[in-house]
Structure 1
Amino acid sequence: MDRGGAETMMMNYLRHMDRSKVTYDFLVNRTYKAAYEDEIEKLGGRIYRMCPMYPQYFGRYKKEFRAFLKKHPEYRIIHSNLEERSYFGLREAAKAGVPVRIAHAHNRPVGFDVKSVFREYFRMRLPRYVTHMFACGEEAGDWLFGRRNRDRVIQQRNAIDTAQYRYDPAVAAEVRAEFGTADGTFVLGHVGRFFPQKNHEFLIDIFAALHAIRPDSELWLVGGGELNDELKNKIREKVAALGLGDAVRFLGVRSDVNRIMQGMDAFVLPSLFEGLPVTMIEAQSSGLPCTISDRVPIQCDVTGNVQVVALDAAPEEWAKRILAQAESYYGGNDVAAAEGGAAYAVKREQGPELVTKAGFDIVANAEWLQRFYLDELAKAEAAGRAMEHVGTSSQ
């Protein structure tokens, strides 16, 4: 439960539900205390721990999960966010008679590596053990459940509290002053964990090209990495080697992404693959013009303020497109001159309304999910009682 996309999505829903009717307890696969755990407990949730889900632990995981369900028969709904690895837990849950078993697709892996063999094996066997299929977007659902099951997949939106992301010039100035960013500096932002999927190495190449065109620019990188920060450290070394140390800011894991985005001028996501990233909904709610790779589902454009650039395009092409989009978006040839002006603010302030209109505000979505849990459990339990009655009558 660190500050990743799926984790943030679950927390957004938890915060906005009637917790006298529905709450979340979390079964996690890490021994360390993660970023959201204190808040989970304050909101009435409990946290249980099990072994990691690495191949060498698969057998142990199944035994531990089986024992967990036997010890906790009170859990009648399991909402699994483990992609293809949901197979393990939901298979055991089906055997134990848990009536509502949800598998949730958050990503759309591409390419082939050793992990792909396991992924394919488990995702092909997953559907028979689920009662409900959720996905953040169509492409993620097609990957995890197969197109043959498209009619069964429920699109659960990666909704956010849009009001928290409304642009405020005073907050923007405060954030920039905090980071020592000079007035008129063009700030390109990125939010994402330092995992290969997010393509940070290419992102640095893009910024190097952009910085060559516009020296008064900065790149803000929000996000943590692996426990040993191997990739993050590699990116730091690359930044230093390119002489960009003063222009690239590693902001780490933040609890105030909504505030940090106020200080950005544009947002970029050159990922190798995605589902439907929460961070794109956040960026658009902040009123930022966004540039994504052609590997990111176009469904994440909910405001019309997102442009797509081919992943195989040169960094220089990315840089030119990002700057041109920003100038066009803010209505002038100089973004720096527009900053702080009325037109700039008006453009940014439109974000929450556009995202809400697209159906991604958390209030309505949390109400929907709460009703879904309660209604589906009631249906499943009624069906179970009917089957018991039939069995009794036939004896």
Structure 2
Amino acid sequence: MNTTPIRVLQVLGGLEAGGAESFVMNLYRAIDKKKVQFDFVKHIEHKGVFEDEITQMGGKIYRCPQYTGKNHFAYCKWWDSFFKEHPEYHMIHGHVRSTASIYLKIAKKDGLVTIAHSHSTSNGSGISAIVKDMLQLPIRHTADYLFACSDKAGRWLYGEKATKQPNYWMIPNGVDLNRFAFCEEKRQQMRQELGIAKDTFVLGHIGRLTVPKNHQFLVELFAEYHKENPNSRLLLVGDGELFGTVQQQCTQLGIRDAVIMVGSKTNTEDYYQAMDVFVFPSLWEGLPVSVVEAQANGLPCLLSDVITHDVDLTDKVKYLTLTNKKVWLCDVANLQRKHRIAATAENMAKLQPFDATVVAKQLQSFYLEQDERARK
């Protein structure tokens, strides 16, 4: 009997606290590492927030070149060499869509079981979006298995027809529900640390500061709300290319002192405690795991109506249109009058399909079965 764990190669952009990365890390923490170990290929050079934790859990990290189009042959050569140097891998789980049709094709040639995973519903707009759309078209024919965090994300990447195939799986983004449970003591501690008074009403958001998350709308919304309700704060957890732009916007709107930007954090569960309402006005999403976490924390969630209803799990979720800021302001004002409480037992039961241990068990069985098939 084999006592050595099988090793699954996870391919990500970087190892920051983004949606796909958080999903893989939640899975990695919950999986039985005596049976399955994760190793990682990342595309970004700088060190990510999860790297030390990965190393501590026994994972290896490799860096491949960032794909520019001009380096197409060098990119292909890197992957080709990698698989020849690492025959220990029988399975690859790709979370980077744009080049998945390249690296999964090479992996397949080397006999690996290939998995593509859709975590989004758009590439945005402009030239780079058009290029990405073209690059990812062959994925549905290249990968052995087509995974998606929601059916909306699955239809977007693979097409309607592919989601009816037996090799398509909708995999909920697993969350350690107990980790995100509400704690009054921790709430008081976090508010003290962040300099927030007990009676201050806090609007919160956790997510990378990138275009899809629509921080511009969120900051404008808060500026209007703060004008009428000065005893309020906006708490933003996350990093990203728009960090400086959002800071600048807060200064221009005269709310810089009322907006708390803490950057990227691995202990996001502590920051939910300090909030009173979770506001999530994204332009597009796959399945935002932070919305599941916020519900586990008992937070009321206001979401843009473009977000999948797969996250509408409890009575704490409300969808609003981005074309009418007044309805958002009205709902935030209504929530200000409500007392902050933990998630009810009924709501926690509704969140169970998203429990990381449930998802990890499901994927662990899949990985072990596929690894055995690949070895034959």
| TM-score over 0.5 for the pair | yes
- Give the Cα separation in 2 of the matches to 1:78 and 1:352: 35
- SS of structure 1 residue aligned to 2:190: helix
1:202-234: CA deviation from partner (whole Å, max 9, x where unpaired)? 1101111221232211100000113xxxx2111
Q: 2:133 aligns with which of 120, 123, 131?
A: 120
In the other structure, the counterpart of 1:361 is 355
In the other structure, the counterpart of 2:309 is 298
Q: Is the 8 A contact 2:123 2:133 kept in 1?
A: no
1:175–1:349: structure 2 CA closer, same or farther, 3 Å change rule? farther
- Following TM superposition, by how much is the alpha carbon of 1:110 offset from its aligned partner in structure 2, in angstroms? 5.8
- Following TM superposition, by how much is the alpha carbon of 1:188 offset from its aligned partner in structure 2, in angstroms? 0.5
Q: How does 1:91-106 map to 2 (within 5 A)?
A: 91-98=105-112, 100-106=113-119
Residue 209 of structure 1 pairs with residue 224 of structure 2: yes
- SS of structure 2 residue aligned to 1:246: helix
- Following TM superposition, by how much is the alpha carbon of 1:351 offset from its aligned partner in structure 2, in angstroms? 8.2
In the other structure, the counterpart of 1:252 is 263
1:114-149: CA deviation from partner (whole Å, max 9, x where unpaired)? 122222222221122111110000111111111110
- Give the Cα separation in 2 of the matches to 1:272 and 1:368: 31
In the other structure, the counterpart of 1:320 is 330
1:265-318: CA deviation from partner (whole Å, max 9, x where unpaired)? 0001111100001111111111100011112112111113111111222x3331
In the other structure, the counterpart of 1:81 is 95
Q: 2:143 aligns with which of 130, 134, 140?
A: 130
Larger radius of gyration, structure 1 or 2? Answer: 1
Percent of aligned pairs with the same amino acid: 34
Structure holding more helix per residue: 1
- Give the Cα separation in 1 of the matches to 2:124 and 2:97: 16
- SS of structure 2 residue aligned to 1:56: coil
In the other structure, the counterpart of 1:11 is 25
**Residue identity opposite 1:367 in structure 2:** K
Q: Alignment RMSD, CA only? A: 1.6
1:167-212: CA deviation from partner (whole Å, max 9, x where unpaired)? 1111111111111111211101001111111111111011112212
In the other structure, the counterpart of 2:170 is 155
1:46-71: CA deviation from partner (whole Å, max 9, x where unpaired)? 00111112323333211101110111
Q: How does 1:368-387 map to 2 (within 5 A)?
A: 368-382=362-376
Q: Is the 8 A contact 2:176 2:357 kept in 1?
A: yes
User: Aligned pair count?
Assistant: 360
**Residue identity opposite 2:329 in structure 1:** A
Large movers: runs of 4+ above 3 Å: 347-352, 354-357, 379-382
Higher mean displacement: 26-35 or 110-119: 110-119
Residue 90 of structure 1 pairs with residue 104 of structure 2: yes
Higher mean displacement: 238-247 or 373-382: 373-382
Q: 2:194 aligns with which of 159, 179, 188?
A: 179
1:42–1:300: structure 2 CA closer, same or farther, 3 Å change rule? same
TM-score, normalisation: structure 2: 0.92
- SS of structure 2 residue aligned to 1:147: coil
- Following TM superposition, by how much is the alpha carbon of 1:261 offset from its aligned partner in structure 2, in angstroms? 0.4
Q: How does 1:185-196 map to 2 (within 5 A)?
A: 185-196=200-211
Q: Is the 8 A contact 1:271 1:295 kept in 2?
A: yes
In the other structure, the counterpart of 2:5 is none
Which sections of structure 1, spanning at least 5 residues, go unmatched? Answer: 328-333, 339-343, 383-395
Which sections of structure 2, spanning at least 5 residues, go unmatched? Answer: 1-14
- Give the Cα separation in 2 of the matches to 1:239 and 1:174: 26
